[in-house]
Amino acid sequence: MTLRSVTATGDYRSILWRPPTEMRWGLGAASAVVVFFALEPLVPTGLAALGVHLPAAGGIAVGLVAYALAVVYAVVVSRRLGLGSLRRDYGLAIRPVDLGIGLLAAIAVEIVRVITGVVLTQATPARPTTNVHLAGSAAGNVVLAVVAVLIAPAVEELVTRGMLMRAIRAAILGRGTEPSEGRRHLAVDASVLISAAVFTALHLHEAPDLVTGVALVLGIFPIGLVVAWLATRTGRLGPGIVTHALVNALALAAALTLAR
């Protein structure tokens, strides 16, 4: 991956970036919140085993609580083990230009998703099911839209690109001797690929069958790659958040249209 010609070692956009001495959090802290999100889908299953069946609104509520806890966790980690700023620790910042960048990236992602969808359709007669589960009422769908388009993209980018991706890059670079040029590029490429893979894996619980699982991988992994590249290239989560939000909005709009 080619980065900007930025020489400051504290600038995440630069190939010369090294984790600052104040950054005392790493893979352990990032992995903890990733594991939390991996286990969160088991809550409805556990409640169902106890005879408690959550309605659609209950599932949304569980998700909201999980997102809130993740944000609180990120803030605590930043203040106690980092630079004390969500922008400086995780790149959580958005600029007006990010709206345009995100729009273009979302269009590119959707083109790739359409192509892979056509290929999958030709490869098997089975059809994947949607991973968008609508609420049972108009009010519930409004809440779902707010969560899917505004809340989920921001929190998921904070976790997977703000925390995990930076932690992976920092772990590969290390804090000891000066890393070689090859190691610097490896750190960037691995952080992008692994964070995209983890992001994809966190959505696989939404697949009820193998074909849907394959469709999710083919559809979500490109999103992860694009937003991870944007976060590395710009040093901000803003472009990725906008891209993520637009992709979610389109998926929700498609689900609502098909439900009519």
Region of poorest pLDDT, from 16-25, 41-50, 230-239: 41-50
Residue 6: pLDDT over 70: no
User: What is each CA distance from 100 to 50, 108, 126, 246, in whole angstroms?
Assistant: 48, 13, 37, 11
Confidence of residue 192 (pLDDT cuts 50, 70, 90): very high
Cβ-count burial of 150 within 10 angstroms (0-12 exposed, 13-18 middle, 19+ buried)?
middle
Output the CA torsion sign for 240, 241, 245, 248.
positive
Residue 2: pLDDT over 60: no
- Cβ pair 256, 144 in contact under 8 A: no
The domain locations on the chain are 27-259
Q: In the block, which residue shows the tokens 């169902």? A: 48
User: What is residue 3's predicted lDDT score, i.e. its pLDDT?
Assistant: 58
Residue 5: pLDDT over 70: no
Confidence of residue 27 (pLDDT cuts 50, 70, 90): very high
The predicted-structure confidence for 59-91, as pLDDT tens digits, reads as follows: 788 889 999 999 999 999 999 999 999 999 999
Residue 185: pLDDT over 90: yes
Cβ-count burial of 120 within 10 angstroms (0-12 exposed, 13-18 middle, 19+ buried)?
middle
